[in-house]
Amino acid sequence: MTPFWKRIQAIVTRHELWAWRIARQYPLLAVFIMATLWIWVAPLLPALAAVMAMSFSEHGFLVIIGTTLGLICAALFFATFGIWFFKCYFACVGLMLKGNSRIADARIRILIERLSGLTA
């Protein structure tokens, strides 16, 4: 793994760790705090704009290619981030409604271990 990629992963992991710790302190705001993690999707927006531009093209083959690429990107996005999103969502709902912090504590431990591995 390159040092640049390791640094990016460490930054994202620190942000997620911060979000979980704040969500544990303020359980009623847990879903809103986790929503701050979606900022890491922003670098994908130019690629999405390019695929959408291809989909609305006047040329038939570009529409087919753009639509196919859009479907593939959407499937990969939801397969990757969907699982993570629903885990976070159900943990946040557990914090908000029941005050159950077992999942959040487990996630914090995992993130601390991952961060120590990335910064070592």
Looking at the structure of the chain, the number of domains it has is: 1
1 within domain boundaries: no
Q: 115 or 84: whose pLDDT is higher? A: 115
Domain enclosing residue 76, as ranges: 7-119
58 within domain boundaries: yes
Mean pLDDT taken over the chain = 85
93-108 confidence digits (pLDDT tens): 888 888 888 888 999 9
2 within domain boundaries: no
36-52 confidence digits (pLDDT tens): 888 887 887 887 788 77
63 within domain boundaries: yes
114 within domain boundaries: yes
108 within domain boundaries: yes
89 in Cβ contact with 32 (< 8 Å): no
54 in Cβ contact with 66 (< 8 Å): yes
